[in-house]
Structure 1
Amino acid sequence: MTLAAGTGDRGQRLWIWLAACLGVIAVQMLVQHLMGRLWICECGYVKLWEGVVNSSGNSQHVSDWYTPSHIIHGFLFYGLGHLLLRGKPMSARLLLATVIESAWEIAENTPMVINRYRSATISLDYFGDSVLNSTMDTLAMAMGFVLAARLPVAVTIAIAVVFELFTGWVIRDNLTLNVLMLVWPLDAVKGWQAGF
C-alpha cells in the first residue's frame, strides 16, 4: 500500500485523508498561536538549520538536532498504524499519526511540560517551540512515516539506530534519552549529558 494518488474514487478518498491531515496541522498551528507561541524565532529571522542545542534559537527554526527524533516518531507511528488500523488505507494511518504528533506538539508547549523539560533534563534554556518549528516537527514525522511505508523494515530500524547513536554522540541527547529523562530522570544520565 502506498500514499500515491490513485484515480477515480480511490484517488478522491486519498485527497480527503490528506486534506484532513493538513487540517489537523492547521489546528495545531492555531492552538499554539492562541497559547501565545511565537510564529517564528524571537530573533526575527528563519534559519533552515539551528545547530546549537543550548541556544535561544534551538526549537525555533525549520530544523535542529531534534528533527531526527521526529522522523523516528514517524517510523514508530507507522508501526502503530500497522497494528491498529490493519486493512485501512495508508492515508488513514497517516491521519492517526498526524493527530498523535500534533497532540504531542501542543502538549509539549504547555507550561507544565516546558517546566518538566527544564527541571528534569539538561534543557535549562528550553522555553518551547515556535509555531514554525513545531509545524516542521510534525512534517518531519510525516516524512518518517512515508519513509517507513516505503523502506524495508530492517532499513527503517537501521536509520533509527543511526539517528539515535549519532545525535547521542554529538549532542548527548536523542529520542530515547529525551523520553527517559522526562519519565524517569536519572542523575547519572543528566550528569553525563551536562558533560560531567
Structure 2
Amino acid sequence: MTEREQQEQEIATIRDREVKLRLSDADVLRLSEKAGIAGLTIGELLTSFIGDLVYGTYANGSDERMYANQWFDRCWFGMFPDKTFLRYLLEGDELSGILFNEQDIEQGKEWLAEMEAFPDKDSDAQEEIAGLKADIAFWQKNIDDTFACFAEWCGDPHRTLDEEMKKVREWKNSYNSMIGK
C-alpha cells in the first residue's frame, strides 16, 4: 500500500471523537483564547497538536512533529514511564497476540465446558477434548512466557499477571470505545 493510499484509508475513518479532559475554568479560558487567536476551536487546535504528536493523518510538518515529540519526551510521563505490562506489549508489538490468546482461552474454556457437560464416549470426541485442553494450555503458556519476559525486562513487576491483564483490558476497552467498537 502506498503512503497516499494509507492516508486515504485513514481519512475515511475521520469522525468526531469524545475525550474527557479535566481542566480548571482558567485553563479552559486560556485554551479557548489560544485557539481563538489562531481562528480555531479547541477541538481543531487539539486535533492539530495530536496529529503532530503521533505523526498522524494530518501533521503540520517535520519541525512541529519534532517539537511535539520533544515535549512528550521531556514530560514526566515520557521521561520516566512506568514499566507496565501494557507498555511492554505495546512497545514489543505483542498486544494483539496476547489479547487473541486470552480470547482463545476464554472461548476454548466455554467449548470445553459444553463438551464436558454432554460427555460423548466416542474416541473422536475424547480426542477433540484432549486437543482443546492442549490448545488452552498452549495459549496460556504463551501469555505466561510473555509475562515472564516482561518480569525479566522490568526487574520487579509490582503486580500479578491478572492485575496487569486487567490494566491491559481497561486500556483496550478505552481504545475500542474511542473507535466505536
Q: Larger Cα Rg: Structure 1 or Structure 2?
A: 2
TM-score computed with the length of structure 1 as normaliser = 0.25
Q: Which has the higher contact order (CA 8 A, sep 6+)?
A: 1
